[in-house]
Amino acid sequence: MANVFSEAFPIVASDYACAGEASAKIKSLLKMIGIDPALIRRVTIAAYEAEMNMIIHSKGGMMTLEISPDTIYLACDDTGPGISDIDKAMQEGFSTAPSNIRMMGFGAGMGLPNIKRNSDTFDIRSCQDGTCLKLKFNINQKGDRP
Amino acid sequence: MTVDELIQKTGWTLVAGNAESDITSAYVCDLLSWVMAHGQEGTAWVTVQTHLNVIAVASLHRFSCVVIPENIAVSKETIAAANEKGVCMLSAACSSYGAAMAMASFGIGEVGA
């Protein structure tokens, strides 16, 4: 199926000043093309959590948004250092964020669970060279599923 | 109730943005992922966090306002970001609990209520 739109957003490690900008652009794009507000909310929450994970934990990477007639794809690829135990990382409340980051209100251990809860398809693979998160959101399904 | 009406009733100070938005609900939390998960358009968010990412979260969800309790200082950078993104910020002398009580007394309910 041919994608009708694709845009990539570079994410810089530890760039807290620009944190959330990629997610804001994604939200604006979805709003501009008339996606259901409830679905926009789900994509925005997932995008923001993925963006923050890359800023806090990774060496940086790329978020890529692709929109086909029936699906929104969000791919998040970073360059490491990877997640050593994905099963633990998926548990609500588990976090490896350092104390200074927790003081800012991050590191609640809700990031990956929030992403999974808000996406229709969730796939994560990780090794020392990086983490690859692939999300799908069904456009034709009722937006406020979770 | 609009943010401006809230200011009139409480005496809270407008720090950034404009006070025209309608307040649909209120939420008190300092963990940003919780706020992302539960906030809604029009929510008045009470938090002691004052860094730049508060503005990102408030902007993403189009919150009606961010209420900073206990006269906690807000940096020029955060105020500038709030003005740039159209996020309304209020400063209150009371605690987060006091801010929640005040809004509840004006009939502002919880998110999702």
Q: What angle do CA A139, A140, A141 make, to 5 degrees?
A: 95
> Is residue A144 in a domain?
no
Q: In whole angstroms, what is the distance from residue A33 CA to residue B11 CA?
A: 41
Helices B52-60, A21-32: axis angle to 10 degrees equals: 10
Secondary structure tally for chain B: helices H, strands E: 5, 5
How many interface pairs between A and B have CB atoms less than 8 angstroms apart?
60
- Phi first, then psi: what are they for A61, rounded to 5°? 175, -150
How many other C-beta atoms lie within 10 A of the C-beta of residue A70?
10
Give the distance from residue A34's alpha carbon to the nearest chain B alpha carbon, in angstroms: 17
Q: What is the pLDDT of residues A76-115, one digit of tens each?
A: 999 999 999 999 999 999 999 999 999 999 999 999 999 9
Facing B57 at nearest CB: one of A16, A20, A114:
A20
pLDDT category at A140 given cuts 50, 70, 90 is confident
Q: Is the residue at B41 inside a domain?
A: yes
pLDDT band at A141 (very low <50, low <70, confident <90, very high): low
Q: For chain B, percent helix, then strand, then coil, each to nearest 5?
A: 40, 20, 40
- Nearest-Cα distance to chain A for B4, in Å, is 26
Contact A108 B34 (CB under 8 A): yes
Structure tokens at A16: 């807290």
Number of domains in chain A: 1
Residue B112 is assigned to a structural domain of this protein: no
Question: What would the pLDDT profile of A6-48 be if each residue is shown by its tens digit?
Answer: 999 999 999 998 999 999 999 999 999 999 999 999 999 999 9
Please report whether residue B111 resides in a domain: no
Q: Which of B73, B76, B65 is nearest to B10 (CA)?
A: B65
Please report whether residue B95 resides in a domain.
yes
Task: Work out how many domains chain B is built from and give that number.
Answer: 1
What is the complex's ipTM, to 2 decimals? 0.89
d(CA A138, CA A119): 9
Contact A110 B37 (CB under 8 A): yes
Question: Residue A145 domain-assigned?
Answer: no
Tell me the pLDDT band of A142, cut-offs 50, 70 and 90. low
Region A52-78: what's the mean pLDDT? 97
Q: Is the pLDDT of residue A1 over 60?
A: no
Residue range B37-77, pLDDT digits in tens: 999 999 999 999 999 999 999 999 999 999 999 999 999 99
Q: Is the peptide bond before A113 cis (omega within 30 degrees of 0)?
A: no
Q: Is a pLDDT exceeding 90 seen at residue B12?
A: yes
A81 prior amide bond cis, ω within 30: yes
Of B37, B56, B77, Cβ closest to residue A45: B37
Q: Which helix (H) or strand (E) holds A133?
A: strand A130-138
Contacts of A25 in chain B (CB under 8 A): none
**Which residue of A11, A56, A94, A106 is the best one to mutate when testing the B interface, meaning the one whose CB has the most B CBs within 10 A?**
A106
Cross-strand partners of A73: A66, A136
Domain containing residue B59: CATH number: 3.40.1390.20
Task: Answer whether B49 touches A (CB < 8 Å).
Answer: yes
* A28 within a domain of the structure (yes/no): yes
Task: Give the angle A94-A95-A99 at the CA atoms, nearest 5°.
Answer: 135
Per the structure, the complete domain to which residue A68 belongs is given by 5-138
Domain carrying residue B30: 3-105
Backbone dihedral angles phi then psi of residue B91, each to the nearest 5 degrees = -115, 130
| Residue B80 CA from chain centroid, whole number | 16
What percent of chain B is modeled with pLDDT above 70?
99
Q: Name every chain B residue with its beta carbon within 8 A of the beta carbon of A114.
A: 33, 36-37
**Residue B113 placed within a domain:** no
Would residue B56 count as lying in a domain? Answer: yes
**Could you say which of B31, B52, B54 has the minimum Cβ distance to residue A108?**
B31
